[in-house]
């Protein structure tokens, strides 16, 4: 081994250590291991919820038990619902300044760079560890414009009517087994309301941290962009590598009202032992626009299909995603665009990289309902395979009930070309640097959509994934 | 300082089992300009790729030495870092990688910024790269010499470049990397007369400034009106069949390659 290689490995170890650490937390509450109605009731009682929310949860639990696991996509054979803790509360009370957050937990988020990012370029931050938000703050200039950015539990207490009007309206409880599971056990997540015409010029960020072993994290998020408003919400996710699996099952529902614009960006860097089974969907009214910018790198097993329901005329939806499946990772990810109104447009651009025995699949649905004349949809899937045993699949479903529409689908599968590698190496880049440059180029259309700080972060995560892949 | 040399000894190269180079011998010393002329398909580009270490070109015999050290076991990037450069006839496009970031990474690798950062434990995100301000200044100077628009730097590497733009981009790389030896593979093709003049002036300037050894591969004499070789070699069927002074260029221009084939092609 040459000295530079060992140094690189040290640096990489350090990089992984940035996320891979467990915080000693004296949990103020932890439910028993396993699933059951008693836990649903416990959670609801601890949160002091109104009866309607308890009823909602119990109904969802009933549906969950009745629904089968999906038989397509990823292998969930090893998933045992009795092996998780469904609720762990790390703090007695959420802080509104970082000083109010207990030392070890504050240190965790410091290490993850959240307070620094908040000071520099965010409008507000919600930080969640395990089942509960531990910190939340919205800068005064945004709060004074009537923006609401709180955790979902606070929203149930302070804005119950708004929550009740919107929860499960885009993602029904019975949409799938995991949306039912989330509806029964949800805790934390964000509630965002942006008043009509208000433009939140800098992003709101939610950071989700799984700390405990065998945790189930079930955050629930609702974002309402009122008519003519604009909002960009970013979620970051990390977890340490435990020996036992963790379960992350979030549900996100977004309401983009007339002429509004919302963007939801995810940089998902869960650890390999996390099942990431989430349902994310937006409904877009007339002239509104929704963009999902979805970066998936960490979790071991993932099912995720961000969706746009284009309900009003001229509504527009985009799903721009990347998935990087390294060894022992399987992504079944994709997008859905449902065109319900005339002249609606959608663009889906999915990029995947598979390395080692990594396996990434694109599963997408474009549906055009009767009457959605003039609808246009374009789907582009690009897969890059780094090794002979890497795998990529594409399952595009198209369901069109209107004649006057325009649907395009393109898919490419490629390898890093020998000619490109040679060219870059002939200029002095070593093989690993050359391959990383080609891969960064492949991801560039995605990365350029990210705020600069996140672009830097994503490039670094890609480098981590690339470690030892060539040479 | 000891005179640097690029020495090719009885080099045999095969591509997909077919022998293309059949024993090439050539010595290029620092500061010398050599022209390698031959018709299409004679194996000129094979020689350039093999010297740079393209994996598809299999060396079946002989050796290639840079300052007495064999290149054959070195990867292309090691060859580049030791001072060999190939301006390619058909540079490939790399989508999503801007010319700027590519050039900065290449210059940094060539000048050892990465190794220096590793040795000193510099963990800064850009610690392995030449400082942006310094690089920007250097690249702007070279762009001006080659009469290239700085907006060019924001384009993706060779993607959608015209033939002439690709060649200029190659020479821009040459100018920034400042190798000890450069091979220009059909650099004149795709260049109009004005561009050829500018590119040649750039090459000549560098060659003198760096005392570079140059191997100019071409099948026309056109570029040799601007970049004046001291040595001219005729390349046919995988071998150098004749080496002489610059007068050979004129004879080839007037009489073509046939006479050389007839006089010298058979005996080897």
ipTM: 0.96
Domain spans, chain B: 1-91+180-188+210-268, 94-160
pTM of the predicted model as reported, rounded to 2 decimal places = 0.85
A contact residues 335-374, partner B, Cβ 8 Å cutoff? none
Residue A162, domain member (yes or no): yes
Residues B64-73: pLDDT tens digits? 999 999 999 9
Number of domains in chain A: 2
In chain A, % of residues over pLDDT 70: 95
Residue A411 has phi, psi (to 5 degrees) of -140, 135
Q: Which CATH class is domain B1-91+180-188+210-268?
A: alpha beta
Q: Report how far residue B28's alpha carbon sits from residue B5's, in angstroms, rounded to the nearest whole number.
A: 6
Together in a domain, A161 and A300: yes
* One-letter-per-residue 3-state SS of B138-164: HHHHHHHHCCCCHHHHHCECCCCCCHH
Which of B77, B99, B119 would you mutate first to test chain A, the one with the most A CBs within 10 A? B77
Beta-carbon-side half-sphere exposure of residue B25 (alpha carbons within 13 Å): 5
Shared domain for A41 and A180, answered yes or no, is yes
Would you say residue A413 lies in a domain?
no
d(CA B218, CA B25): 18
| Residue of A11, A12, A421, A423 to mutate, testing the B interface (most B Cβ within 10 Å of its Cβ) | A423
| Domain boundary residue, one of A275, A304, A333 | A304
Q: Do A441 and A299 share a structural domain? A: no
Residue A353 parent element (H or E): strand A345-354
Decide: helix, strand or coil at residue B26: strand
Measure CB to CB from residue A427 to each of B53, B96, B173 and give the nearest one.
B173
pLDDT tens, residue by residue, A24-33: 888 999 999 9
Band (A339; pLDDT cuts 50, 70, 90): very high
Could you give the 3-state DSSP secondary structure of residue A339? Answer: strand
- The alpha-carbon gap from B54 to the nearest alpha carbon of chain A, in Å, equals 6
**CB nearest to B56's CB, from A418, A430, A437:** A418
**Is residue A402 exposed (0-12), middle (13-18) or buried (19+ Cβ within 10 Å)?**
middle
Would an 8 Å CB–CB cutoff place A18 in contact with chain B?
no
DSSP conformational letter for B98: B
What residue numbers bound the domain in which A107 lies? Answer: 3-304
Domain-embedded: residue A214: yes
User: Where in A108-245 does DSSP place strands (E)?
Assistant: 124-129, 132-138, 148-151, 190-194, 204-209, 216-217, 220-225, 230-238
Provide the chain B residues 96-115 that lie in CB contact (below 8 A) with chain A.
96-97, 101-102, 105-106, 109-110, 114-115
- What is the per-residue pLDDT for A15? 52
What is the DSSP code (8-state) at residue B93?
P
* Residues of chain B with C-beta less than 8 angstroms from the C-beta of A424: 94, 102, 106
Report whether pLDDT(A10) > 60: no
Helix (H, G, I), strand (E, B) or coil at B264: helix
Give the span between the Cα atoms of A337 and A281, in whole angstroms. 10
Distances (CA, A) of A408 to A93, A346, A398, B14, B109: 51, 10, 10, 44, 42
A33-86: pLDDT as tens digits: 999 999 999 999 999 999 999 999 999 999 999 999 998 889 999 999 999 999
């Amino acid at each position: 081994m040459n000295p530079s290689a060992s140094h690189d490995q040290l640096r990489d170890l350090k990089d992984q250590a940035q996320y891979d650490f467990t915080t000693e937390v004296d949990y103020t509450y932890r439910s028993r291991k396993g699933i059951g109605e008693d836990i649903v009731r416990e959670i609801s009682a601890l949160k002091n919820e109104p009866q309607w929310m308890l009823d909602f949860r119990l109904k969802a639990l009933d549906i969950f038990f009745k629904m089968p696991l999906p038989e397509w996509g990823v292998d969930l054979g090893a998933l045992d619902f009795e092996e998780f803790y469904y609720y762990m509360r790390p703090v007695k009370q959420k802080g509104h300044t970082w000083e109010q957050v207990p030392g070890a937990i504050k240190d965790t988020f410091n290490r993850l760079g959240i307070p620094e990012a908040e000071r520099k370029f965010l409008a507000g931050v919600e930080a969640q560890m395990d089942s509960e938000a531990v910190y939340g703050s919205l800068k005064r200039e945004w709060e004074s414009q009537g923006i609401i950015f709180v955790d979902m539990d606070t929203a149930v207490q302070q804005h119950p009517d708004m929550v009740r009007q919107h929860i499960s309206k885009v993602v029904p409880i019975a949409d799938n087994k995991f949306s039912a599971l989330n509806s029964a056990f949800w805790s934390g997540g964000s509630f965002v309301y942006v008043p009509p015409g208000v433009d939140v010029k800098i992003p709101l960020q939610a950071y989700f941290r799984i700390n405990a072993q065998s945790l189930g994290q079930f955050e629930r998020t609702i974002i309402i962009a009122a008519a003519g408003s604009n909002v960009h919400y970013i979620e970051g996710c990390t977890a340490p590598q435990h020996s036992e699996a963790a379960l992350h099952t979030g549900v996100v529902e977004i309401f983009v009202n007339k002429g509004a614009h919302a963007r939801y960006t995810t940089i998902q860097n869960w650890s390999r032992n996390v099942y990431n089974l989430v349902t994310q969907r937006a409904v877009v009214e007339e002239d509104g626009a929704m963009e999902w910018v979805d970066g998936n790198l960490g979790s071991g097993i993932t099912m995720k299909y961000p969706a746009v329901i284009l309900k009003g005329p001229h509504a527009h939806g985009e799903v721009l995603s990347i998935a990087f499946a390294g060894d022992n990772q399987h992504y079944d990810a994709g997008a859905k665009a449902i065109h319900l109104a005339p002249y609606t447009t959608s663009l889906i651009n999915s990029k995947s990289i598979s390395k080692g025995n990594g396996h990434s699949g694109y599963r997408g649905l474009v549906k055009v309902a009767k009457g959605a004349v003039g609808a246009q949809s374009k789907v582009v899937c690009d897969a890059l395979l780094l090794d002979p045993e890497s795998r990529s699949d594409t399952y595009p479903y198209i369901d069109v009930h209107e004649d006057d529409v325009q649907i395009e689908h393109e898919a490419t599968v490629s390898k890093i070309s020998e000619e490109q590698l040679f060219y870059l190496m002939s200029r002095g880049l070593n093989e690993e640097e050359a391959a990383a440059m080609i891969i960064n180029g492949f991801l560039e259309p995605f990365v350029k959509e990210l705020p600069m700080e996140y672009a830097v972060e994503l490039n670094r995560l890609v480098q981590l994934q690339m470690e030892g892949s060539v040479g | 300082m000891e005179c640097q040399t690029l020495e090719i000894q009885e080099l045999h190269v095969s591509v997909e089992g077919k022998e293309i180079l059949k024993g090439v011998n050539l010595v290029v010393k620092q500061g010398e300009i050599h022209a390698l002329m031959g018709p299409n398909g004679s194996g000129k580009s094979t020689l350039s790729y093999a010297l740079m270490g393209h994996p598809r070109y299999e060396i079946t015999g002989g050796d290639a030495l840079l300052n007495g050290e064999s290149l054959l076991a070195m990867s292309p990037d090691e060859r580049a870092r030791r001072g060999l450069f190939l301006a390619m006839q058909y540079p490939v496009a790399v989508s999503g990688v801007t010319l700027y970031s590519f050039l900065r990474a290449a210059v940094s690798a060539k000048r050892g910024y990465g190794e220096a950062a590793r040795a000193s434990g510099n963990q800064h995100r850009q610690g392995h790269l030449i400082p942006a301000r310094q690089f920007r200044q250097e690249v702007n100077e070279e762009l001006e010499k080659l009469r290239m628009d700085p907006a060019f730097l924001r384009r993706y590497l060779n993607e959608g470049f015209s033939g002439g733009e690709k060649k200029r981009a190659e020479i821009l790389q040459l100018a920034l990397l400042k190798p000890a030896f450069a091979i220009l593979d059909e650099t004149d093709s795709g260049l109009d007369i004005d561009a050829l003049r500018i590119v040649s002036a750039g090459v000549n300037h560098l060659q003198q400034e760096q005392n570079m050894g140059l191997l100019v591969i071409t099948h026309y004499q056109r570029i040799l009106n601007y970049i004046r070789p001291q040595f001219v070699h005729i390349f046919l069927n995988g071998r150098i069949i004749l080496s002489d002074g610059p007068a050979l260029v004129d004879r080839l221009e007037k009489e073509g390659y046939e006479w050389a084939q007839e006089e010298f092609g058979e005996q080897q």
